[in-house]
Amino acid sequence: MGLKDAYHRPHEPEISDEARAWVASIACTKPRDHGLATELWTISGLAHFVSECAEFAGFPRLAHAGKSTVWRILDENEIKPHITSD
């Protein structure tokens, strides 16, 4: 354990807490609520929607967010929009 370097972030995160909350709130809705034809979000579908709507919503940094960024935001909040509990 002593030989491993501690995780080091070279700079502060560029995505604000408000932007992360916005992504989480979208993930908690259904795609149909946003005019899409599917019932459940996929990670790639959610990432595409987020990147399309981010600037209009006031979060320009998210306009270039990919699947991995969206996945990390959802994972931090333990949100799994692709799984139903029916």
At 14 the pLDDT is 81
At 42 the pLDDT is 92
Distances (CA, A) of 63 to 6, 24, 45, 67, 80: 30, 15, 14, 12, 22
Instruction: Name the residue ranges covered by the structural domains of the chain.
Output: 17-76
At 60 the pLDDT is 93
Instruction: Give the separation between CA 73 and CA 69, rounded to whole angstroms.
Output: 6
pTM for the full predicted model? 0.79
Residues of the chain with pLDDT under 50: none
At 4 the pLDDT is 61
